[in-house]
Amino acid sequence: RSNAEKFEFQAEVSRLMDIIINSLYSNKDIFLRELISNASDALDKIRFLSLTDKEILGEGDNAKLDIEIKLNKEKKIISIRDRGIGMTKEDLIKNLGTIAKSGTSAFVEKMQTSGDLNLIGQFGVGFYSVYLVADYVEVISKHNEDKQYVWESKADGAFAISEDTWNEPLGRGTEIRLHLREEAGEYLEESKLKELVKRYSEFINFPIYLWATKEVDVEVPADEDESNDEEETSESSSEEEKEDEEKEEDEEGDKKPKTKKVKETTSEWELLNDVKAIWLRNPKEVTDEEYTKFYHSLAKDLSDEKPLAWSHFTAEGDVEFKAVLFVPPKAPHDLYESYYNANKSNLKLYVRRVFISDEFDELLPKYLNFLKGLVDSDTLPLNVSREMLQQHSSLKTIKKKLIRKALDMIRRIAEEDPDETDKNKKDIEESGDDDEKKGQYTKFWNEFGKSIKLGIIEDATNRNRLAKLLRFESTKSGGKLTSLDQYISRMKKGQKDIFYITGTTKEQLEKSPFLERLTKKNYEVIYFTDPVDEYLMQYLMDYEEYKFQNVSKEGLKLGKDSKDKELKESFKELTKWWKGALAVENVDDVKLSNRLADTPCVVVTSKYGWSANMERIMQSQTL
């Protein structure tokens, strides 16, 4: 086109598009979900702006917040349009030509090797999945503050943008036209599209319509000369029809001209989804399958995996809200990357059914960032800016309740897991869903255990609740994970401390001389082998009425021995000599100890000093 301006894709995008085009990836269906999700995002944006500026929606059709899909079988085109926020020329260049998100290049790399496109939507590059099915794509867009433009590309490294002087004016919003590849003909079938919307986009909060063909019976004047006409009338001699005819004659009062029915094809908008929000429904009436599907749509996850747990509840009182929380089946690859800098809350905030933001990190503390879900509050004000909302006092209450519910939900995974305790085993066997819940907590722990530990460090208020969720191996756990409650149930009579030891691996710790006497005396010792454990234990001082004692540190008491005093006295000279022999800067003190069995002596860390393991961690960080 003469007025087209040419642009090159950012190198990263070009590579991504090459991968998509040449992909052998079989699930090409995902393109539709991505486009519908983009349309829905664009509608959310305009609806949000309209809260503070009513004029912005315009009038008539322009104010219709829906998504419309049309097929053109002859030209092999699918078009998807929305009356969302639209894109200015600048937006088109920026949004459909570059990828701003960090970590994209790692994703492109990963996709190239794995060929798995399931995660494309999570990386903010879902739009490009259109090239799984199309070889030429046009994006027509009109933003309130700019003219109408057409973006087009054949995925050949370049795209063009022209001011749109030939298409019908959109009013506002975006229409995406996919010129399908030869082998993607199946997407021109209405039944296929209906199935896809049902499968992947059921929980979109805007109506999705398909311009669907429909066969209708129409009555046309009967041609009396036609010989087969008589046959038709004689065939249709059912009681019902006769009655109908008589009735009509009665009403009209005079004899009706003869008519016949013929089939005719017309088209009309057919609604494909049910827009009743799942979180407004009664939890008792929502099936597991619906929750799973809802989770997949929230998380933009195309795998078949069921979330590990969910919690759907209504909070009442001063602050009213409904929420659905999910524990995903897997941790995202970058969960702990830039943990302290990134705002990565995965909760969507709605106010009275209107989507407000998914970037509200005030809703959950960082350590619960792995949860997905949604909060819809009737208490928050609608017509204020995001910034004002962020400071609203109700958010604190919401956050507090969300944390409680989240921790309850996680605790329930353990309670329902027959692997966790014998008592539960019996209960669950009776209730019958043994298999499904089995091993779920270990799975949770392997994926998100570190988050629980970070929670213990960060959240003093819920420290005890979080400590209940802690799992570890110990000298008595037999290679399995165990909990503090289980440790306590095995404690020796009169034991006042919970013993633990830190190090790099369990194998290394098993040989530690610090354990000799403890194991001989049948005390249980926890193995902490994760670097974060050293920090964790600086915050976790006690649990229930028991104190934690690092067995490699000063202060280990294994009950009083009547001979202690005597022995101390008789070895006085030796300990004194030792203290003199070792320079003062090397050791603080030399003491007689009852912590050892076979090893003659051991270096112990002072109560407030760094353990040898901590020393090692700090060194590896600075080197």
Supply the minimum distance, in Å, between the C-beta of residue 34 and ligand ADP. 6
Label the pairing between strands 525-528 and 497-502. parallel
Q: Which of 30, 111, 119, 125 binds ligand ADP (CB under 6 A)?
A: 125
The interface partner of residue 278, options being Mg ion, ligand ADP, none and the CB cut-off 5 to 8 Å by kind, is: none
In angstroms, the CA 302 to CA 286 distance is: 21
> What are the structure tokens assigned to 343, written together?
């705002």
- The closest alpha carbon to 47, from 209, 205, 169, belongs to 205
95 near ligand ADP, rule: CB under 6 A: yes
38 near ligand ADP, rule: CB under 6 A: yes
Nearer CB in complex with ligand ADP: 127/445: 127
Supply the minimum distance, in Å, between the C-beta of residue 132 and Mg ion. 14
388 is in an annotated binding site: no
In angstroms, the CA 75 to CA 179 distance is: 8
The interface partner of residue 360, options being ligand ADP, Mg ion, none and the CB cut-off 5 to 8 Å by kind, is: none
> What are the structure tokens assigned to 598, written together?
């076979």
Q: Which of 16, 28, 30, 34 binds ligand ADP (CB under 6 A)?
A: 34
Residue 164, φ and ψ in degrees, nearest 5 = -85, 110
In angstroms, the CA 169 to CA 472 distance is: 63
84 near Mg ion, rule: CB under 5 A: no
Nearer CB in complex with ligand ADP: 170/456: 170
> What are the structure tokens assigned to 158, written together?
């370049």
In angstroms, the CA 66 to CA 59 distance is: 14
The interface partner of residue 310, options being Mg ion, ligand ADP, none and the CB cut-off 5 to 8 Å by kind, is: none
Tell me which residue has its CB nearest to Mg ion: 126
207 near ligand ADP, rule: CB under 6 A: no
Q: Which of 29, 68, 82, 420 binds ligand ADP (CB under 6 A)?
A: 82
449 near ligand ADP, rule: CB under 6 A: no
Nearer CB in complex with ligand ADP: 347/501: 347
Supply the minimum distance, in Å, between the C-beta of residue 139 and Mg ion. 13
- The closest alpha carbon to 301, from 524, 123, 508, 81, belongs to 123
Nearer CB in complex with Mg ion: 122/292: 122
DSSP 350-381: EETTEEEES--TTSS-GGGTT-EEEEEESSS-
Q: Which of 104, 153, 174, 483 binds ligand ADP (CB under 6 A)?
A: 174
CA distances from 435 to 289, 412, 416, 425, 482 (A): 17, 16, 11, 11, 20
- The closest alpha carbon to 494, from 593, 543, 560, belongs to 560
> What are the structure tokens assigned to 548, written together?
């934690």
38 near Mg ion, rule: CB under 5 A: yes
Using CB under 6 A as the binding criterion, the count of chain residues that bind ligand ADP stands at 17
418 near Mg ion, rule: CB under 5 A: no
126 near Mg ion, rule: CB under 5 A: yes
321 near ligand ADP, rule: CB under 6 A: no
In angstroms, the CA 186 to CA 195 distance is: 12
Using CB under 5 A as the binding criterion, the count of chain residues that bind Mg ion stands at 2
Supply the minimum distance, in Å, between the C-beta of residue 13 and ligand ADP. 10
Label the pairing between strands 77-82 and 67-72. antiparallel
In angstroms, the CA 502 to CA 490 distance is: 21
518 near ligand ADP, rule: CB under 6 A: no
CB-facing half-sphere around the CA of 618: CA atoms within 13 A: 9
126 is in an annotated binding site: yes
CA distances from 263 to 75, 220, 467 (A): 25, 10, 70
42 near ligand ADP, rule: CB under 6 A: yes
Length of the chain: 623
Supply the minimum distance, in Å, between the C-beta of residue 35 and Mg ion. 8
Binding site for Mg ion (CB under 5 A): 38, 126
Enumerate binding residues for ligand ADP (CB under 6 A): 34, 38-39, 41-42, 82, 84-87, 95-96, 124-127, 174
- Binding-site annotation: residue ranges for ATP: 34, 38, 82, 87, 95, 101-103, 122-127, 174, 386
